[in-house]
Structure 1
């Protein structure tokens, strides 16, 4: 166990307040900082605690089992460390090398950038930026207007008047306005708000390309393909929330006398989740070993990791879908632990990367 019994108890006791007030508590954030959980994918020399993907997925699962908001915020915050290899070493040190460093942002290119002397003027808005209220850095993707000339580490990039380029921009909190519009019925304390920037000047050195590695090439995690990396991370969260849900459901069923039908369904879902999570980790661990051995993943391995991640998430979701209707009106109360778990599970599994088509 990564967390102490006291830390688990404190966060669980504060979970109702976080849900009602839609914000994470200082104590929960302090626990994240103390364990350096936002730095799981940050190089050690940047005050990180570089972690393998299988181990990190288990940390995400453990965090989410304590509380869904905690698990989601740890996972999203840690994921920002993936960008350390895309920034120059000087910039990555500036962004990551302190205790409370964490990135919030969006990968959607819903902004625009106009080139000016020394950098760009960025405008736009970006939805679903988890951790927005305490982020120390923001990243956002924007489309550079046609007709630009950009000097990068390898030389000069140019484009004609008909071509556009998507680039990532590093902004500080003073350049960002937060629109507090995260009104979802679950994961309420994740502050997954819309952010916007108006005429923000970003020097060229504070921009990066998602396809151009600038440092830390030897760190294995940065060689892992980003799509399955994200799916593995989110599947760990879904599994942890489902475990908490089943734990709370068992407690509630016991209080109500525990009918054989409810108990049977609980045991069935527990077994299904355990098997699916076991298959999931077998795939993740196998992919990590393949990456260490070959320096890359085969297409078949990528596809398997994606499939196992989605299956694990969908199995987690089915725990809520099949058990929640059996628990009576007491489970329908918003301040009930089981209700929060159910809402968090539904919300987490709504992410596009966890849906099966």
Structure 2
């Protein structure tokens, strides 16, 4: 099936690329960049059809995020993260879906999911407190998912921990200005969030286990296979796709610059076999990252579409593929950036922004390979499931 959004993105490609430096200077997406994401329908790709969404194949979503990130890393990153949230919201309580999308189905939802808050039970729901970092695109969102642990009546975390995703309107949390001052992805505006004694109705506190065990999907009535893809495949998909797209953007900017470049030795880059070898090797590594990423999610989609279930071993292997794809793409990007010369790293050259954005993207928790590779290897050795917190990223 044809990607329903990518042609619209291509029509706005020059605008998106031109806004990269603007976003970075603002420290968040410029309103024009956010409007392009709205106009093209990127954020609604995984949104349910009953609220104007495309219910798109996750492969199409990944391809679209990669293309946007190849034009501007920050815009691609926001598209990848904010664009995943409608997928989860589609399986939440119908009451909160109506609260968010009933009057305006273009409403955006932010995050983060890190469990940095505590839910204290009270009559009818919970009292919620916490402080979170890294809420990407949050200035353009009117609702938010926040990670939390369930607490007791005194607000102390229950053991063993029970993880929740808590849904709040903009009036119930504070965005901390000037809390996003980093080396890369500056245009994402990934600011801190603070919640103080917010009341959360019970229907807006979602047990994370319900997303993992399929019970949320079963209760939703959704039949599109997109929603049967595991959370730990879908959530990283937007982020890893953005990183691969950023590497593609760096390669494209490098090639544009090298076409007419003459090195200090007087040798044209087109006549330097060593640089040419590095360019080709890097291009193939970045392409391999793209292919493995898309093949991975397509294979999982095809299995659930045929009525199959994704085993823990398959989830672990899927995560390994995602993490490895991101690392492969960024290593390849480093090879071409190192051959861009001093002028390639001037602040008016987009190569350096892609380079910084890509490395910042690798710092996200989902790209830390240690636990993911450890678990994947254990499953290959028939140790399933492995113990402790290593499960959190699988």
Give the TM-score of the pair, scaled to structure 2: 0.82
Q: Which residue of 1 aligns with 2:194?
A: 196
Q: Measured at CA, do residues 99 and 255 of structure 1 come closer, stay the same or move farther in structure 2, by a change above 3 Å?
A: farther
Q: What's the offset of the Cα at 1:29?
A: 1.1
- The correspondence for 1:36, drawn from 30, 36, 41, is 41
Q: Does 1:307 align with 2:313?
A: no
Question: Does the CA-based 8 Å contact 2:69-2:75 persist in structure 1?
Answer: yes
Q: Which residue of 2 aligns with 1:245?
A: 250
Q: Does 1:347 align with 2:353?
A: no
Q: Which residue of 2 aligns with 1:130?
A: 136
1:12-62 C-alpha deviation (Å, 9 max, x unpaired) = 112111112212122211111112221222110012111111111111111
Provide the secondary structure at the position in 1 that maps to 2:118: strand
1: CA distance, partners of 2:344 / 2:160: 54
Q: Which residue of 1 aligns with 2:66?
A: 61
Q: Which residue of 2 aligns with 1:296?
A: 309
Q: Which residue of 2 aligns with 1:332?
A: 345
Q: Which residue of 1 aligns with 2:88?
A: 83
Q: Does 1:23 align with 2:36?
A: no
Q: Which runs of 4+ in 1 moved over 3 A?
A: 3-6, 160-166, 298-301
Q: What's the offset of the Cα at 1:163?
A: 7.0
Q: Measured at CA, do residues 174 and 83 of structure 1 come closer, stay the same or move farther in structure 2, by a change above 3 Å?
A: same
Q: Which residue of 2 aligns with 1:152?
A: none
1:1-357 correspondence runs (5 A): 1-3=6-8, 6-97=11-102, 98-147=104-153, 165-180=162-177, 181-212=179-210, 213=216, 214-257=219-262, 258=269, 259-357=272-370
Q: What's the offset of the Cα at 1:286?
A: 1.6
Question: Does the CA-based 8 Å contact 2:250-2:333 persist in structure 1?
Answer: yes
2: CA distance, partners of 1:286 / 1:147: 45
2: CA distance, partners of 1:161 / 1:47: 39
Question: Does the CA-based 8 Å contact 1:185-1:347 persist in structure 2?
Answer: yes
Q: Measured at CA, do residues 208 and 230 of structure 1 come closer, stay the same or move farther in structure 2, by a change above 3 Å?
A: closer
Provide the secondary structure at the position in 2 that maps to 1:140: strand
Question: Does the CA-based 8 Å contact 1:105-1:126 persist in structure 2?
Answer: no
Q: Measured at CA, do residues 296 and 206 of structure 1 come closer, stay the same or move farther in structure 2, by a change above 3 Å?
A: same
Q: How many residues align?
A: 347
Provide the secondary structure at the position in 2 that maps to 1:107: coil
Q: Measured at CA, do residues 46 and 300 of structure 1 come closer, stay the same or move farther in structure 2, by a change above 3 Å?
A: same
Provide the secondary structure at the position in 2 that maps to 1:296: coil
Q: What's the offset of the Cα at 1:168?
A: 2.6
Question: Does the CA-based 8 Å contact 2:290-2:325 persist in structure 1?
Answer: yes
1: CA distance, partners of 2:72 / 2:355: 11
**Structure 1 portions without partners, runs of 5+:** 149-159
Question: Does the CA-based 8 Å contact 2:81-2:136 persist in structure 1?
Answer: yes
**Structure 2 portions without partners, runs of 5+:** 1-5, 211-215, 263-268, 371-394
Q: What's the offset of the Cα at 1:205?
A: 2.5
Q: Measured at CA, do residues 225 and 252 of structure 1 come closer, stay the same or move farther in structure 2, by a change above 3 Å?
A: same
CA RMSD of aligned residues (A): 2.3
